[in-house]
Amino acid sequence: MSPLEKFQYLCSMERTLVILKPCTIQRGLIGEVISRFEKRGLKLVAMKMEQLTPEILRQHYAHMVQKPFYPIIEKSMMAAPVVLCCWEGIDAVSVVREMAGATNGRKAVPGTVRGDLCVSHQENIIHASDSLETAKAELERFFSSKDYCDYQSPLFDYLYAQDEL
């Protein structure tokens, strides 16, 4: 890949956060969920397991802290560790959101992560960033620059057409 091609490639890629929730870990679905994103062609560039704290959850769900159901969210998200993932690709934010499906698993269409793997509104397998701006803020919350791995997949030439880069 020439320097210009590499620059164009890096400029066209988005990064987004996916959190595999405690219910996913407890149900043994980590591999299933990660496999779906890999098969779609997204590139995993950072991943770690972490036990979330009330402090980080209040930051992450700041828009919901005052809601009466927030204690349920906090308890659910602290029930077990989570797996934090950063996925990269063209339009990664919207691709991941579409793959996730409706927040309520009972309403998510079959073929989506939630539509195939859950029947709950809260225990709904994953959190996925809802915009590029949110993704940037969430990734900064959970990852530092040293957490990212920059590598070229040998399959890259088979994922996108040249005019998409």
User: Between the CA of residue 5 and those of 54, 75, 153, 163, 164, what are the distances in Å?
Assistant: 43, 46, 15, 12, 12
**Which residues are designated catalytic?**
127
Distances (CA, A) of 162 to 25, 94, 96, 121, 165: 38, 21, 22, 40, 6
The sign of the torsion formed by the CA atoms of 55, 75, 136, 25 equals positive
Q: What's the first-to-final CA gap in the chain, in angstroms?
A: 13
Counting Cα atoms < 13 Å in the Cβ hemisphere of 80 gives 13
